[in-house]
Amino acid sequence: PDILPLTPYLREIVWGGRRLQRFGKDLPPDVPIGEAFEVSALPGQECTAASGPLSGLGLREILHRYGQELVGAAVQARYGDNFPLLIKLIDAQDDLSIQVHPNDAYARAEGLGTFGKTEAWYVLHSDGARLALGLQDGTDEAALRRALTEARVEQAVLYQDVAVDDVILLQAGTVHALCRGVMVYEVQQSSDLTFR
């Protein structure tokens, strides 16, 4: 079909909430949902076709069956049977862990998968929220390691206030975290590799 409606994978997370209902998500009662995977071929977190002749099929199976008809010849030539994107809605009701994602070369060299994780956020909601985005000036690897062992890593991280319609590109290797009161639309590589 020309349009392939997908049923999102809803991820229960302790820092999640109920605000994804604003975006038409049918959330299970009394469960904190932090993420709605809108387009996902990750095993165990996969979207399925919501209706039509492919109803109930997972995105990986659809890609396997339709290949370049689904993603185009250039994407299939580059990525084969690996769907390259993961798209999410994220509702941070609390601060997330400070984290970093590897790049493709590191992920492959360490046998962690095909993709590292570069991502981009479009801010949908902000209660005067902030994000952790990189490290304070002068914080090198040694200083970050000291901050980690001394339980003062938050002092090494650079924070930035965000507002609705802000767009943030996070290259793999950037220390970052979503903070309480922000909702984002996230487009990223198809990877769940996270070092906290």
- Give catalytic residues, as residue numbers: 196
Region of residue 21 (phi > 0: left; psi between -120 and 50: alpha; otherwise: beta): alpha
Q: Which residues contact 89 (CB under 8 A, 6 or more apart)?
A: 8, 20, 23, 25, 35, 36, 38, 124, 183, 184, 185, 186
Nearest to 166 by CA among 152, 154, 183, 148: 183
Beta bridge partners of 125: 183
The answer to whether residues 6 and 48 touch, using CB atoms and an 8 Å cutoff, is yes
> Which helix (DSSP H) or strand (DSSP E) does residue 135 occupy?
strand 130-135
Report the alpha-carbon distance of residue 120 to residue 52 in Å, rounded: 31
